[in-house]
Amino acid sequence: MATFTTNLNVPTNPGLKIVAVGAGGGSIVSTDGVTWTAGAAFNSVAPSLRAVATFGGNFVAVGDGGVTQATVDGVTWGVHPSNTTANLLGIGCSGDRCIAVGDGGTIVRTLDGGATWTTMPIATTPALKKVAFGNFGNNLGVLTPSINTWVTVGDAGAVLYSKDGGTTWTATPVASAGDFVALAYITKFMAIDSAGNSFTSADGVTWSSAVPTGLTAPRGAIGNGAGYVAVGTGGATASSF
C-alpha cells in the first residue's frame, strides 16, 4: 500500500514524496514514482503494515496486531499504541483526524496525527478493509450540501457510515455485494468487491446496483480528481472517468 504527500515549499526537500509499506514493517520511498530507495528495513519479526495515509506532511501507517506508526520521511518511524490488538487493514485521514479499520469490525480514531488512538464502539461486523471521507464541498463547483461523511467497507458486503466524525457508525445494506476490497471518493463513494463489481453512493447511505469493472481479481482503487482507477492481479487495470 502506498500514498504520497508534497512539500513544494521546502527548498532542501522539494516536490513529491511517495511512501509504500508492507511485510515486516518495511517501507520504500520515491520522489517520482520511478526510482525507489529503502526506507525502514524489513524485519521478519515486525508486524506487517497493511495501509498508509497522509496527515498533513506526515505519513501514518497501520497493520497487524494493531500496530500504528508515523513518519515524516518514510525512513524513521515512531510506533504509537492504538488501543487494539486487532489487525488494522485500512486507514483514511481528513481534516483533524485519521480513522483506521480492521478485523472484527474494529474502528479506531486519532485526533493528533497518530500519537494516541481511541476505539470506536460498534456492533460486531465482519472484517473492515477500507475507509474514506466524503464531502460534497469538493464536488467540482457543483452547489450541493456538504455531507461530511466517513464510510468503511469490508467482508460480506459490509458498509458502515458515520456523520459525526467517526464517533457513531450505522450499517447500511448494499444489494448483492461480496467482500469489498477497495473504496475511493471524488464526488461520490465508489467501492469494489472481490468479484470485480463496483457500487457507488452519493451520500454513503444509499448505494447503486452492481456495475462490472472487468477485473476478475481487484486489489485496490483510487480517485484522481477526475475519475477512478482500479488495479488487480497480473497488472490488470480498469478506469472510469
Domain count, the chain: 1
* Residue 60 within a domain: yes
**237, part of any domain:** no
Which residue did the predictor score with more confidence, 172 or 16?
172
**In this structure, is residue 19 part of a structural domain?**
yes
**Tens-place pLDDT, residues 115-143:** 999 999 888 789 999 999 998 655 445 55
* CATH number of the domain where residue 142 is located: 2.120.10.80
Asked whether the beta carbons of 82 and 62 are under 8 A apart, the reply is yes
Q: How far apart are the first and last CA of the chain?
A: 23
**pLDDT value for 84:** 96
Q: How confident is the model at residue 145 (pLDDT cuts 50, 70, 90)?
A: low
- Mean pLDDT to the nearest integer, 170-192: 96
Predicted confidence band at 6 (pLDDT cuts at 50, 70, 90)? very low
Give the domain extent around 48.
2-184
> Average pLDDT, stretch 12-38?
88
pLDDT above 60 for 10:
no
Residues 6+ apart with CB under 8 A from 172: 159, 160, 161, 204, 205, 206, 207
pLDDT attached to residue 146: 79
- As a whole number, the mean pLDDT across the chain is 90
Collapsing DSSP states into helix, strand and coil, what is residue 193?
strand
Residue 8 pLDDT exceeds 80:
no
Specify the residue for cell string 525507489.
36
Residue 98 C-alpha cell reads as 485519521
pLDDT at 9 over 70: no
Q: How confident is the model at residue 155 (pLDDT cuts 50, 70, 90)?
A: very high
The pLDDT assigned to 70 comes to 96
Q: Tell me: pLDDT of 2 over 60.
A: no
pTM: 0.90
How many other CB atoms are found less than 10 A from the CB of residue 229?
Answer: 15
Residue 51 to residue 59: CA distance in whole angstroms: 10
How far is residue 165's CA from residue 184's CA, in Å, rounded to a whole number?
A: 18
Tell whether 218 is covered by a domain: no
Residue 168, classed as helix, strand or coil, is coil
Dist. CA 83–CA 65, nearest whole Å: 10
- Residue 13, Cα to own-chain centre: how many angstroms? 26
> How many Cα atoms within 13 Å fall on the side-chain side of residue 183?
30
Q: Are 36 and 48 in contact (CB under 8 A)?
A: no
Tens of pLDDT, residue by residue over 193-210, are 999 999 999 999 999 999
